[in-house]
Structure formats: C-alpha cells, structure tokens
Amino acid sequence: MAIESAEISIFDRLSRRQVPVLPPGASYLLKALTDENIGFSELAQIIERFPTIAGRLIALANSAWSSPVNTITALDKACSRLGFAVVRSTSIALAVASPFDPSRCPGFNTESFWARALMTADAASWLAPVASSVDDAESSAARTAGLLHSLGLLWLTDQLPDEVDQAYTIVEESDSVSLSQALSGLIGFDDVYAGGYLGGSWRLPEQLVTAMAHYPESDLQGGYWETATLVGVAVSLVTAVQQETPWSATDSRLERLGITVPAAEKVVLQIDRQFERTQELAKTLFNG
C-alpha cells in the first residue's frame, strides 16, 4: 500500500531504527530447508549448526504433542519422528522469531500468531500441487512463503507495541474493520507493507518478498504472482476455518491458479482437521 505523506514520519522513524538481524546462518538454513530432496540425516547435520533450534526440536520430539514411545536424544531421530514438514516449518519459525520481542503488546497472542502462520504454511503447501498454473519452482517455496507472510505484524508489534495494541482494540470493537485497516488508519501503513519492507531488508529471495508484500492482492501481475496469490488463498481458507465462516467457492484467484473447487474444498477439510493440532504445536513451541 502507498503511505500517505502525513503519516510518512512514522514509517521513517520505524525504518531508521536498526532492522532486527537474522541469526547468523539463518539465510543458509532457509535455503537448505526449501530443498525437497534433502534426507533426514543431512537435514539434521544442517540444523546441528543451530544449537538452540536443535534443542527445541529434540524437546518437541519428546513432548506430549509428539508422544514418543521412547525418549529421543539424537537430532536425526527427532527429525524423523517429527516429519520433514514439521521440522522445516518449526525450524524456520524459531529462526525468524528470535530477533523479535512482542511481549510489550498486551493484545498480541504469540501462540495464536504462530498457529496461524504454521497453518497457512501447511495450507499453501497443500494448495500448490493442485494449482495447475503453479510450476515446481513456485510450489517448492509455497510453505516458506505461507509461514513468513505475516512477519510484518511481528516486526510492528516489536517496534510499535502501543500502536499495534490500539489496532487490536479497534478490531475488537468493530466487526467491519480488519487489523490491516486499523493499522493503516493509525500509522499510515499496514503489516503487509511492513512485511515486504522487512523481507527486502533481510535480502530474502524475491519470491518470498513478493509473497510477503502482495499476498492480499487478487489481481497481482508480474514475477512470482503465483506464489503471492497462492499464499493469499491459503490465508483466506485458514481464516474461514478459524472464524467458522463460509469460504468463497467463487474466489477468482482459484481460477487464476487453476485450482478446482473440489480441490479447494479438500484443503479446507485438511485445515479443519489439522487446526487444533497446529494450535497445540504452536503452544508447545512458543509457550512462555
């Protein structure tokens, strides 16, 4: 979205501050985790370079959420137990979450934020194979793009906690105002714009930045429109399940992506079946 000149000082103030720095090697981790052909042993060797993430994965593999028969102490066994999709999403989530502290914003729920991000990642990865207009290169990034789509909100919550809390209050008091609209009214730009700026500052791959900056747009043109539109549909389906509202089978984005209505309905059912477990996963990872 364009920033109104009257509000530009707020964005200037935000952008002049040091953009949170990704942990050393996180870019390499992101690249490695998008390799669909990587094995659990090689995956474990890569994650071992990130002791904090490795420890959290082993803890997750031994948690009530995973419910292993025997105690797991080796990272490769933890990865095998959790499965590639969970390892990839949780590793990326833990890496990108580490620079931010949203605790000063009372209205922000960390567990809810990551449950939605993790669920959107799954939904995007389920939609990609049934989208006839999406090639393999676009499809392979769908999960990561879905996971990172709302990172701008995390950054704003860290840097402008009072303003974000006000935005949550506005949303609670009005059913017709979205969080992005509330933020735009308060600070002149929204979380989607902030996400695109953050992704560019981090020098993330253009495909991911495009998705972060443009996923709500229904008629996006140009490079990587498929990835952005795929994430946008995933967000819509997750929102429909989360809010228990009907999703639009006439969504024009489905036709653009080459997704049939029955295929989309199947993904909605998958989201519905998986959502509670994903909430428990987020609670296990980010509680406290």
Percent of the chain at pLDDT exceeding 70: 93
- pLDDT tens for 105-136 read 999 999 999 999 999 999 999 999 999 988 87
pLDDT attached to residue 41:
81
Q: How many domains does the chain have?
A: 1
Computed over every residue of the chain, the mean pLDDT equals 90
Instruction: Provide the 10 A C-beta neighbour count for residue 261.
Output: 12
52 part of a folded domain: yes
Interval 136-165 mean pLDDT: 91
178 part of a folded domain: no
- pLDDT tens for 20-70 read 888 778 888 888 887 777 777 888 888 998 999 999 999 999 999 999 999
Tokens of 50: 């990130």
Distances in whole angstroms, Cα of residue 48 to Cα of each of 73, 83, 217 = 13, 16, 38
Instruction: Give the model's confidence band at 150: pLDDT under 50 very low, under 70 low, under 90 confident, else very high.
Output: very high
227 part of a folded domain: no
33 part of a folded domain: yes
pLDDT attached to residue 10:
67
283 part of a folded domain: no
Q: pTM for the complete prediction?
A: 0.91
Domain that holds residue 43: 22-98
248 part of a folded domain: no
130 part of a folded domain: no
pLDDT attached to residue 9:
62
58 part of a folded domain: yes
